[in-house]
Amino acid sequence: MLLHIIFIIFLFCYYLISKGKFKLSLFFVFIYSFLLSLEIANEYFFSLGPPVHFNQIIFLYVVAYNILMFTMYHYISGKGIFGCVIYAALVTFISALKISIPLNPIILYYKYSLLFLPHTNIPLFNLYIINLFPALLFSCDFKKIIILLVCYMSTILPICTLISDKAPKINIAIIQVGLYYKNGGTTEQFYDDMVRFIKSHNVNLVVFSENVYFGYKNLFIKGNTDSFLLKIKSDPSLKKYAFLFNFFGYKQFNNVISMFLYNDRLQLHQKTILIPFIEKKSVFNTSESLSSEYLNIDNKIKNSDTFQIHDFSFKAYICYEALFPVTTVYNGVVIAQSDYVRLNKGKEYKKTLVNGSLLGKFSVAPNTTLINIQNYGGTIVLNKYWEIDWDIYNRSKKEPFLVIKL
């Protein structure tokens, strides 16, 4: 219900600006920004508590984004179709430059499997279309809108390349590291418990969540990580499994690192987009020591994000970087190693997990399966039809290790 109200106010802001009522529209932009923040971040943004909680940083960020967006529309809305084309390009460019994740509420309507929404294999183009639509709606006369809709329905809409149903079958073991320790697991037991689980299930690939329990950011977890990797590499019975680990720092690299290990083949992928002032020190990428509380992107890493196991291949992202629309998508399974736990501030956290997964699928896997692995439970699998596997989700809230069959 809240999403529908947000969408109506979203369109109303466009309407007011198109009628020359820019100052009045700003009032509704503030209301729209508050409700959109609430829909996306839920109690992490605002809660009546007790105690009352209001995240001013999120609100100011969303308000600034929307004021910029609607101000651009204000100045070029009178230019007709040409102005709308330029406007949509500018708004899309904000996400293309990785300045901000897209904040268009239409993205959240993909969960309803609406056939008229763009589903091309170019997420940035899909974003451009949904940025363009509301601008055209209030800047063109009725006849032009009908002509544009006919063109859209007959050309762009049919462009939807789905992954083949003949894709290789695979069983993936999901390791929710944080939930394992939260449920009482210990460092001493982790290796044995994990190996026992994967050997008792017919799995091909083992994937870890984003976590801070393995890595090189301090001596304690470094010792555990070195010991764990030595056991993995020394056990001949594990050679048949492919692993996608996740490390909080690795060797000299001060970043979140995914390591793919299969048949002694090792590939690394670093997190390519860091959250300003939370994961990195500022909006810029500055070099930090391994002991720093902040991370940095290291250009010395030969970055890999596509991995192969026999005839099965997949693409991997690390949490935040999966929320930015790409120019081309990988036509296979996409895996996001995530940890949304800092956003868990109440009973609406489930909605946050769903919305984050929807944005991730829109951005990097519009026509294929997305597996959004969570560190403390709440793993979400969205198939190519945008359907959530609720059985997997419910089990993942209790079971730190589980198998996803594709």
Mean pLDDT, range 226-239, rounded to an integer: 95
pLDDT at position 155, please?
Answer: 67
pLDDT band for position 322 (cuts 50, 70, 90)? very high
- Answer yes or no: is pLDDT of 214 > 80: yes
Give the contacts of 24 (CB within 8 A, at least 6 positions apart).
16
Strand partners, 250: 253
Q: pLDDT digits over 11-37, tens only? A: 999 999 999 999 999 999 999 999 999
Second CATH level (architecture) for the domain 171-405:
4-Layer Sandwich (3.60)
pLDDT at position 50, please?
Answer: 84
Q: How far is CA 345 from CA 44, 74, 366, in A?
A: 5, 37, 29
pLDDT at position 251, please?
Answer: 94
Report which secondary-structure segment, H or E, holds 105: none
Q: What percent of the chain has pLDDT over 90?
A: 80
Q: pLDDT digits over 136-193, tens only? A: 988 877 666 777 676 676 666 666 655 455 567 899 999 999 999 999 999 999 999 9
Please give the radius of gyration of the chain, using alpha carbons only, rounded to the nearest integer. 22
Residue-wise DSSP of 176-233: -HHHHHHTT--HHHHHHHHHHHHHTTT-SEEEEPS-SSSBSSSHHHHHHHHHHHHHHH
Please state which of the ranges 87-91, 118-122, 144-148, 176-180 shows the lowest mean pLDDT: 144-148
Mean pLDDT of the chain: 92
pLDDT at position 78, please?
Answer: 81
**236-239: long-range contacts, CB 8 A cutoff, minimum separation 24:** 237/199, 238/195, 239/263, 239/264
Q: pLDDT digits over 269-310, tens only? A: 999 999 999 999 998 999 999 999 999 999 888 899 999 998
Q: pLDDT digits over 335-384, tens only? A: 999 999 999 999 999 999 999 999 999 999 999 999 999 999 999 999 99
| Cis preceding-peptide flag for 51 (omega within 30 of 0) | yes
User: 366 near 126, Cβ under 8 Å?
Assistant: yes
Best-predicted range by mean pLDDT (80-84, 144-148, 194-198, 279-283)? 194-198
Higher pLDDT, 164 or 313: 313
Amino acid letter for position 181 = Y
pLDDT at position 146, please?
Answer: 74
- Nearest of 10, 21, 11, 18 to residue 139 by alpha carbon: 18
Say if strands 205-208 and 171-175 run parallel, antiparallel, or are unpaired: parallel
- Answer yes or no: is pLDDT of 326 > 60: yes
Amino acid letter for position 159 = I
Note the Cα 218 to chain centre separation in Å: 28
Indicate the domain borders of the chain: 2-156, 171-405
- Answer yes or no: is pLDDT of 247 > 60: yes
Mean pLDDT, range 399-403, rounded to an integer: 98
pLDDT band for position 225 (cuts 50, 70, 90)? very high
The crossing angle, in degrees rounded to 10, of helices 80-96 and 56-76 is: 150
pLDDT band for position 80 (cuts 50, 70, 90)? confident
The crossing angle, in degrees rounded to 10, of helices 123-137 and 80-96 is: 140
pLDDT at position 13, please?
Answer: 96
Query: Two tokens at 272?
Result: 């390519």
- Nearest of 209, 179, 247, 213 to residue 338 by alpha carbon: 209
- Answer yes or no: is pLDDT of 328 > 90: no
